[in-house]
Amino acid sequence: MKLALFPDENGGLDIELLANAQRYDDATLSRHALRLMALITQFADNPALRCGDAQMLLAEEQTQLAHLNNTAVTIPAATLSDLVAQQAQKTPEASALADAHYHFTYREMRETGCGAGVRAAGTRRSAWR
């Protein structure tokens, strides 16, 4: 794609957009032409505008991009431990941990944790079996 600039009789410029018709369809070329005009308008309105600060997208493209990027998700304030405890309370027989050799439900995990706590407190196994 090429741009050709020609001075006109009134001191302005004529701009031609030259493109390979086998590579670009009419709709794509029209959007490129609209973007180019929007850029030229920005620089004409603000000669001090830096290239990096110019808006490259058309308004409808900005709207579409904002819509596509609207991916905000509300994250619960609970910690992972809180969420696991809530799930264990709701579904004690559901799988909590599993690998190729072992499978534990939330109930089994709780019981294992409780047993470790009792042993850590100094209670002998025969006293609570």
Report pLDDT digits (tens) over 57-78: 999 999 999 999 999 888 888 8
Residue closest to 55 by CA, chosen among 34, 38, 77, 69 = 38
Residue 12 maps to a domain: yes
Residue 16 maps to a domain: yes
Residues 110-122 have pLDDT tens digits of 888 765 766 676 7
Residue 75 maps to a domain: no
Q: Which residues contact 43 (CB under 8 A, 6 or more apart)?
A: 49, 54
Claim: this prediction has a pTM higher than 0.75: no
CB-CB neighbours of 106 under 10 Å? 20
Residue 120 maps to a domain: yes
Whether residue 116 is found in the same domain as residue 59: no
Whether residue 57 is found in the same domain as residue 111: no
Which residues form the domain of 92?
80-128
Residue 108 maps to a domain: yes
- pLDDT of 47 above 50: yes
Residue 43 maps to a domain: yes
Residue 73 maps to a domain: no
Residue 101 maps to a domain: yes
Structural domains counted in the chain:
2
Q: Which residues contact 33 (CB under 8 A, 6 or more apart)?
A: 17
